[in-house]
Amino acid sequence: MVQSKVVTGIEEYRKKTPASLEFSKTSRNVMPGGVTANIKFFEPYPVIMQKGKGAYLTDLDGNEYVDYLLSYGALMTGHGHPKVMEAIRKQMDEEGTLLFGTPHHLEVEMGKKIQELYPGMERLRYTNSGTEATLLSIRMAYAYTEKYKIAKFEGHYHGGYNQVLLSVNPPLNEAGPAKNPNSIVESKGVEPHQIENTIILPFNDLEATIDILTKHQDEIAAVILEPVQGGFIPAEQEFMEGLRAVTKKLGILLIFDEVKTGFRLGLGGAQKVYGVTPDITALGKVVGGGFPVGIVGGSKEIMEISAPTAASDVFDNSQSKRSGAKDVLFHSGTYNGHPTILAAGLATIEVLEQEIDHVFETANQLKSGIQDLFLQKGINVQTIGMGSIFNFIFTEKKKVQSYRDLQESNFALRKDIDYHLLARGIYNKPLNRYSLATVHGEKEVDRTLEAFKKTLDSL
């Protein structure tokens, strides 16, 4: 009997997306690699989307997908949520402009809401992206401590700029000892001296982290970390508490990059879940309601170093006079605190205040369903994550706690499954985490699990 050929996920994907292929060929004449951000690309070519609504995306071939990428987690109310769209239109219609170029009321309204949810953000500044937020956080730390090195954790991503584009996805044969990782440059164009200025730490290994920080305490301005690595590998509670204690002891600031985890683990982010307050917090993604945004906040003492001298003198007579511009941390941006963006962000928070529990319940339902399907097939899988974000990993390890643990998983199987799922109408970038939104419900979960079942039956 002749056995039928097993069709790979990529083969299925190609058959379903010919228009995306043709578009990608054309786009390469406009943008390097056909994309305007490297993260948007995947082999053999990315899906080109045409429209989105609610929990769904539609591509150039008319294929409809349940969207679990959600713009890398930014769209926690889904595509075109009516309340968010209404807030955008209202701001434009009533205020008559997209941009004031001056202070305006929404900066304070959003700021008060953020302070309510993130009490450690006693003062805050707006930026135009999560990347800008982490960049400003580091400058704040340099200015406050007058030290000019940072420490970051292996496998953690904080943006595409030179100080932090090290040891995000390092080859293990170059990464050095697990307890004292090497600093590995991740991109052309990163100055070699960044290797010396960015010290790499082992995530979830408190003892080794304390040893490295103690050795370099007089050089390091701040430790920056994702409290949940990649959005899905959580820090251990003991690790977080120990890291907070040792940074305080050594006079090193602690920066939480909550661009991924802000609102997605709860309205108060990871710091609320862990009960650990950092010195500086960087937010982004969800809080922009689909627009580019970042927010940096921290203690009044730290953040006030960015206050213009004149304002400080007029409103706070107790503050020491500054001699000139060099005494003030410079931070600016034409679009910082953009009124339309803040209107969308406030509307998003209002929706989440009513519906965030639904998102968590749906995420848990989907995680359990995926786990059960793989177990029925005798495939070892872990669905790991917190709140509204998770990932599924094929591994023999009892627990995935770090970048190196993740590297031992079966990426080839995961990729093949992801391409099969794309062909069956489940959208995510291959190997990426799953993010859920208020618009995902029982219908979307059932459709997703059916696609998983058909995929597993075809393997």
Confirm whether 457 is a catalytic residue: no
Confirm whether 15 is a catalytic residue: no
Which of 13, 118, 142, 157 is an active site residue?
157
- Identify whether the C-beta of residue 307 lies closer than 8 Å to the C-beta of residue 275: no
Number of H helices, E strands in the chain: 16, 16
Backbone angles phi, psi at 384, to 5 degrees: -120, 150
Strand partners, 298: 123, 280
Q: Using CA atoms, how far apart are residues 93 and 90, in angstroms rounded to an integer?
A: 5
Strand partners, 426: 66
C-alpha atoms less than 13 angstroms from C-alpha of 268 in its C-beta half-sphere: 15
In the β-sheet with 49-53, what is the strand arrangement from edge to edge? 49-53, 56-59, 64-67, 426-427
Which of 147, 285, 403, 418 is an active site residue?
285
Question: Which pair of structure tokens corresponds to residue 394?
Answer: 């094929």
Confirm whether 56 is a catalytic residue: no
Query: Which residue reads 């503050």 in tokens?
Result: 319
How many residues make up the chain in this entry?
459
Please name the residue ranges forming H helices in 96-157.
105-117, 130-145
Which of 257, 279, 405, 416 is an active site residue?
257
Question: Which pair of structure tokens corresponds to residue 130?
Answer: 């999560």
Using DSSP bridges, classify how beta strands 280-284 and 253-257 pair: parallel, antiparallel or unpaired.
parallel
Q: Using CA atoms, how far apart are residues 440 and 236, in angstroms rounded to an integer?
A: 29
Q: Using CA atoms, how far apart are residues 290 and 123, in angstroms rounded to an integer?
A: 24
Quote the DSSP letter at residue 54.
B
Q: Using CA atoms, how far apart are residues 288 and 338, in angstroms rounded to an integer?
A: 10
- Identify whether the C-beta of residue 186 lies closer than 8 Å to the C-beta of residue 233: no
Query: Which residue reads 């802000």 in tokens?
Result: 262
Amino acid at 430: P
Backbone angles phi, psi at 56, to 5 degrees: -125, 150
Strand partners, 185: 166
Task: Choose among 156, 160, 168, 154: nearest CA to 189.
Answer: 160
Task: Choose among 258, 267, 286, 262: nearest CA to 345.
Answer: 286
Q: Name the strand (E) or helix (H) holding 389.
A: strand 389-393
Residues recognised as catalytic: 157, 257, 285
